[in-house]
Amino acid sequence: MESKDKQTETKKPSRKYAFQWRAYVSLFLLLAGVLLAFSGVVLYVAPSGRIAKTIEWRPLWLDKGQWETLHTALGFVALFFGYLHVRYNWRPILSYLRRKLGDALRLRKELVMATLTTLLLVIGSVYDLPPVKQMMDLGESFNDFWECWGENQGYFVVGEEGVHPEDKTADETSGGAITEPSSTTNTSSSSRGYGRLTVTDLAKDEGIPVETAIERLAGYDVKAEPDDNMLTLSGRTGYTPGELAAIVRGEDPNDYGE
């Protein structure tokens, strides 16, 4: 009899595992919250875009643009999952809020202090007042730190907007906007800013094979890959982005800007 009972127990069909959407949403929000906090810290201590590209700043093998994309994507998706979380749990949430609202009304002093703290942070953010100002100043100091670090590592840190100071001129007719010097052979590259172009982009604009562009750069001891931009190469070599573009065109970089 015992053996028959064991056989019937083993023959019982196992229950199929049902995917738990509520648990999935909650777990995703937990993981997204951790990643949002971490990427927020990374972006807080990150250098400006021009310095990040020049010194090839890539924590955990991701550049600044990739960290910004990750942070933004997680934020938007987390908003949607937050809506799903409320939808799946609206009754427990309402019950919880009713209980906590009653507790908050009894904690009047604490409620007033929490409200005032929130208002102070909002006003401080809008009008750049302490302690928000000190918080933002600390973030700016990280930019100076990375710039000094890059220079100590042998990088040539270039100017703002991806354009070397020697490459840019002020166009008074456009309200002081920064533009590249005019070139007799190309206008599309100069209008975009050489620092933003990769070797592949520049070679395409100039109508030459990317292999030719790399060979010409190698002739001036500039080791380049197709995906390297002019700003990164400028940081490695000391040539301005405009001089590198002149090399790609087959010109003497010393004649650039004359």
Reported as a single tens digit per residue, the pLDDT across 148-174 is 887 777 777 754 444 444 444 433 333
In the chain, how many domains are there?
2
Mean confidence (pLDDT) of the chain = 77
**Residue that finishes a domain, picked among 102, 125, 152:** 152
pLDDT of residue 167: 46
For residue range 29-67, list pLDDT tens digits in order: 999 999 999 999 999 999 888 788 888 888 999 989 899
Same domain, 39 and 143: yes
Domain match, 178 and 148 both: no
- Give the alpha-carbon dihedral of 121, 123, 125, 130, to 10 degrees: -70
Residues 62 and 112 in one domain: yes
* One domain, residues 39 and 69: yes
pTM across the whole model: 0.61
Q: Which residue has the tokens 């001036």?
A: 220
pLDDT of 72 strictly over 50: yes
237 & 128 share domain: no
Look at residue 187 and tell me whether its pLDDT is greater than 80.
no
The first and second tokens of residue 101, run together, are 């609202």
Domain that holds residue 122: 21-152
CA separation, residue 15 to residues 10, 40, 89 (Å): 13, 43, 26
Interatomic CA distance for residues 70 and 7, integer angstroms: 54
